[in-house]
Amino acid sequence: MSEDRRLMVLRAIVQDYVQTSEPVGSKALVERHHLGVSAATVRNDMALLEEEGLIHAPHTSAGRVPTDAGYRVFVDRLSAVKPLSQGERRAIAQFLEGAVDLDDVVDRTVRLLASLTRQVAVVQYPSLTRSTVRHIELVPIGTSHLMIVLIVNTGRVEQRVVDTGHDLTVAEGEALVSRMRTAINEVAAGVPFTAAATRLRRIVGEADQADRRAFESVVSALADALVEEREERVVLAGQANLARSGADFPRSIGPILEALEEHVVLLRLLGQLGDDPDLVSVRIGSENPVTGLQSTSLVSMGYGSGSERVASLGVLGPTRMDYPTAMASVRAVARYVSEILDDDRST
Amino acid sequence: MSEDRRLMVLRAIVQDYVQTSEPVGSKALVERHHLGVSAATVRNDMALLEEEGLIHAPHTSAGRVPTDAGYRVFVDRLSAVKPLSQGERRAIAQFLEGAVDLDDVVDRTVRLLASLTRQVAVVQYPSLTRSTVRHIELVPIGTSHLMIVLIVNTGRVEQRVVDTGHDLTVAEGEALVSRMRTAINEVAAGVPFTAAATRLRRIVGEADQADRRAFESVVSALADALVEEREERVVLAGQANLARSGADFPRSIGPILEALEEHVVLLRLLGQLGDDPDLVSVRIGSENPVTGLQSTSLVSMGYGSGSERVASLGVLGPTRMDYPTAMASVRAVARYVSEILDDDRST
DNA sequence: CCTTGGCACTCTCCCGTTGCGAGTGCCAAG
DNA sequence: CTTGGCACTCGCAACGGGAGAGTGCCAAGG
């Protein structure tokens, strides 16, 4: 019996602390939450919770604050993901509806998440390495250069300019480009990135001797673009939320902002999701390997067109965060974005 | 004679205050800068400078701090734009050299500026409205949709997907697309955005009756893309620098971060440059109309391919900022970026 | 008329002290 | 196992005095 109530107390502590950002004492607890017991009883429970390492008293005579482990228990066992209100769902749909292209989708998503949760929002661009080639377009520039436009099934576009090694008339150029366009799209369109690169290399050998140089430069640029990791990008919004987040938080804001500028690190973090792709992942405080983010929590989830998740998004804030709301928002937004990416409009 | 020395004193005050971030007194001044006069003389000058509103004493018995007007005089009359060292120039070139496309150029630029100046860096994307159409590419998607890829002379790419209103076989589709591609590029390629939209509308009427619907949807989507303001985008980096910037600065960091998230406002700010496009513009503290940025200064400059400036970039930091260095960095980077945009590689 | 040294004065900042209040741990009784 | 009571512990805010930095002003000297 006591076990149950102890967890109730833990939940109450978390809720109060999240709301007030001040250590919560036994008296305040029994007043605000109508647990059917007295302050003294709560104190006993608190002592036990402290022994278990779930809460912690900043000083001898202050209230209690949840530890990272305490939040972990709260998230895993004590909180239901609060469903969003009808209005909120509509707002999400409406806000994302107007996006015109992938950049716009990502941009709107990250701003939406930030304003919804009042935390820092993080959205990873749909990663190319898990994507397929939709189409490759070649555009002559002058007589000796060529712009390559790579269109990805997620709607993303990459471009490169290459020197063909030839110097042709307009007519010759058009013809050559047309041959290459056909050959390249024949083997690469619809093919996953990993396979596309090797397939493309094969066609260089099959090309007419005269076209060889052009094929080579185009294919090698494409291969570059396909394997390159640079496309792993994240977008942030809502950094201002860090400043008003908490009491002592503004002081530790520097390291956090610095950590957020290390996009490579962020990407690695976002990549480490739980097993179930359809579940919201929560990483709390010290569970987090990144220096500078150890006083923050990351609530994230994969998203993507179709059933496969191609990237992640989430929010980051102080460990003292409203987890149920954050989780609900992240999940809802991830789902909507996935839907939108499925739609033809922006893919 | 006294006029001159007073300005020397002002310069010394600005320099010391920028370095130490503490109010500077008469004694410290004569020690650090070998002005040939005594502390008492300096005090007299200070009293005059204060009357003129160029410096200000936080309390009766503290040192002096430059006012916004004081910084203004410093920037306009007392500081030479410090030329960068050879090493710095090389570093800039090297860092920007490796960029593969426009996104990458912008991304590297903003990070470079931030690390060079240790301030917040702001880079506006080359604006479409001052740009010209390089090429328009059409890519069939399924039997009834079409992806439009608009390639801008700055290297930027915009894409849209439209419903053609037709439902054709692959062969018919290819033929139609080919007709449209030719017709569209004939009138639009190389043309400034403003003119391109009207020209495009004209060709709808001239198209074959059967193609009319397809032309209409493509052209209207293009016209949308051409006039749309959404393309006005800014990228930020180095927000973390705000946190370690100054003593009391961390407190006011919240409003600043908030202001920085209002990209629309930032864009307007960046747009208001001085008359001479080749000059670095400095807006100091309260000269700045934006709420939340009134304790900051913006050092900015236009950049762009060719001789016309298509966008701006700059850095933003506390009014107590190392202006000569910031101005030098901004100018150097703006020039390099302009050069790169001129290069074929990424345009 | 400008410069300079001297001097009294005014602040802020730092530090140690004190009192208060919130919160705890423990205990004995129900 | 719960509850009320009680002594105890700290953090924190308020107060006060001392030190130091810097100023303004004045009278003397170039």
CA of A221 vs chain B CAs: smallest distance (Å)? 10
CA distance A165 to A141: 13
Query: Measured CA to C1', what is the nucleotide nearest B41?
Result: C3
Least confident stretch, A244-248, B17-21, B68-72: A244-248
Measured from the CB, is B43 under 7 Å from any atom of strand D? Answer: yes
Does residue A229 have a pLDDT over 50?
no
Residue A343 is predicted with a pLDDT of: 67
Measured in whole angstroms, the distance separating CA B311 from the mean position of its chain's CA atoms is 6
Kindly compute the dihedral angle of the four CA atoms of residues A266, A103, B309, B148, in this order, to the nearest 10 degrees. 150
What is the pLDDT, as a whole number, of residue B193? 79
**Alpha-carbon span A219 to B312, nearest angstrom:** 35
For residue B78, pLDDT over 90 is answered with: no
B108 has pLDDT over 90 = yes
Distance CA(A184)–CA(A188), nearest Å, equals 6
How far apart CA A265 and CA A261 sit, in angstroms, is 9
Beta carbons of B257 and A250 less than 8 Å apart: no
Share of chain B above pLDDT 90, in %: 39
Tell me what percent of the residues of chain A surpass a pLDDT of 70.
91
- Residue-level pLDDT at B345: 42
Closest residue of chain B to A147, computed from CA coordinates? B347
Does the pLDDT at position B20 exceed 60?
A: yes
CA of B210 to C1' of C19 (A): 93
- Asked if B61 CB < 7 A from strand D, the reply is yes
Point out which residues pair with A289 in neighbouring strands.
none
Closest residue in A to B156 (Cα) is A159
pLDDT of B307: 60
Largest CA distance in chain A: 92
What was the pLDDT predicted at B14? 96
Which CATH number does B130-229 carry? 3.30.390.10
Position A1 scores a pLDDT of 47
pLDDT score for A56 = 94
Let me know: does A302 contact A311? Beta carbons within 8 Å: yes
Look at residues A218, A267, A219, A245 and name the one whose alpha carbon lies nearest to residue A321.
A245
Q: Which of B161, B254, B345 lies nearest to residue A344, judging by beta carbons?
A: B161
The residue ranking higher by pLDDT, B346 or A265, is A265
Mean pLDDT of A13-38: 90
Whole-number percent of chain B with pLDDT over 70: 91
Lookup: nucleotide whose C1' is closest to A46 CA: C24
pLDDT category at B231 given cuts 50, 70, 90 is: low
Element of type H or E holding B182: helix B170-188
Residues of A in contact with B244 (CB under 8 A): 254
Mind telling me how many Å the CA of A292 is from chain B's nearest CA?
12
Asked whether the predicted pLDDT for residue A231 surpasses 70, the reply is no
pLDDT at A346: 41
Closest by Cβ to A139, choosing from B135, B237, B254:
B135
Sign of CA dihedral A107, A90, A276, A130: negative
- Using C1' positions and the CA of B38, the closest nucleotide is C4
CA distance A156 to chain B (A): 9
CA of A44 to C1' of C23 (A): 13
A-chain CB neighbours of B238 within 8 Å are 261
Which of A113-127, B209-223, B326-340 is predicted with the least confidence, judged by mean pLDDT?
B209-223
Q: What is the pLDDT of residue B332?
A: 95
Q: How far apart are CA A275 and CA B134, in angstroms?
A: 46
| Virtual torsion, Cα B87, B89, B95, B98, nearest 10 deg | -120
Q: Cβ B139–A151 below 8 Å, yes or no?
A: yes
Better-scored residue on pLDDT, A144 or B274: A144
**Which band of pLDDT confidence, cut at 50, 70 and 90, is reported for residue B72?**
very high
Q: Domain residue spans in chain A?
A: 2-67, 86-127+232-346, 130-229
User: What mean pLDDT comes out for the span A198-215?
Assistant: 85
pLDDT for B309 beyond 80: no
Residues of A whose CB is below 8 A from B237: 261
| Residue A128: pLDDT over 70 | no
Residue in chain A lying closest to B145 (CA): A344
Q: Do A254 and B240 touch (CB under 8 A)?
A: yes
How many whole angstroms separate alpha carbon B158 and alpha carbon A346?
12
Residue B145 pLDDT:
84
Rounded mean pLDDT, B190-201: 82
Give the model's confidence band at A142: pLDDT under 50 very low, under 70 low, under 90 confident, else very high. Answer: confident
A169 touches strand D (CB under 7 A): no
Q: Answer yes or no: are the C-beta atoms of B326 and B296 closer than 8 Å.
A: no
Q: What is the pTM of this model?
A: 0.80
Spanning CA of A257 to C1' of D28, the rounded length in angstroms is: 59
pLDDT at A345: 42
| pLDDT at residue A34, rounded to an integer | 85
Chain A residue whose CA is closest to B247: A251
Q: Is any atom of nucleic acid chain D found less than 7 Å from the CB of residue B50?
A: yes
Question: Checking DSSP bridges between strand B311-318 and strand B120-124, what pairing results, if any?
Answer: antiparallel
Q: What is the mean pLDDT of residues A191-217?
A: 84
- Residue B234 near residue B122 (C-beta atoms within 8 A): yes
Residues in B closer than 8 angstroms to A240, CB to CB, are: 254, 257-258, 260-261
Q: Sign of torsion, CA A141 A147 A153 A157?
A: negative
Residue in B147, B244, B257 nearest the CB of A254: B244
**Local confidence band at B228 (pLDDT 50, 70, 90 cut-offs):** low
Q: Which of A194-198, A228-232, B128-132 has the lowest mean pLDDT?
A: A228-232
pLDDT value for A282: 95
Q: How far is CA A200 from the centre of its chain?
A: 31
- Confidence at residue A129, expressed as pLDDT on a 0 to 100 scale: 62
- Would the Cβ of B11 be found within 7 angstroms of any atom in strand D? no
Inter-chain residue contact A161 with B346, CB threshold 8 Å: yes
- Asked if strand D comes closer than 7 Å to B49 Cβ, the answer is no
| One-letter amino acid for residue B111 of the chain | R
**Residue among A187, A186, A191, A184 at smallest CA distance from A131:** A191
Using a CB-CB cut-off of 8 Å, the residues of chain B touching A141 are: 134, 344
CA nearest B140 in A: which residue? A135
Task: Select the more confidently predicted residue: A300 or B225.
Answer: A300
Residue numbers in A near B142 (CB within 8 A): 344
Which CATH fold would you assign to the domain B2-67? Arc Repressor Mutant, subunit A (1.10.10)
Tell me which architecture the domain covering A86-127+232-346 has in CATH.
Answer: 2-Layer Sandwich (3.30)
Q: What is the pLDDT of residue B347?
A: 41
Interface test with B, best of A182, A230, A291 (most B CBs within 10 A): A230
B66 touches strand D (CB under 7 A): no
Contacts of B251 in chain A (CB under 8 A): 250
Binned at pLDDT 50, 70 and 90, residue B308 comes out as low
Q: Which residue of B lies nearest to A256 if distances are taken between CA atoms? A: B240
Question: What digits encode the pLDDT tens for the residues A253-280?
Answer: 888 999 999 999 999 999 887 767 788 9
DSSP A37: S
Express each pLDDT in B135-174 by its tens digit.
Answer: 888 888 777 888 888 888 777 778 888 888 777 777 787 7
Specify the pLDDT at position A195.
79
pLDDT single digits (tens) A44-100? 999 999 999 999 999 888 889 999 999 999 999 988 888 899 999 999 999 988 887
Does the pLDDT at position A230 exceed 60? no
Which positions in strand D are less than 7 Å from the protein's CB atoms? 1-5, 8-11, 20-26
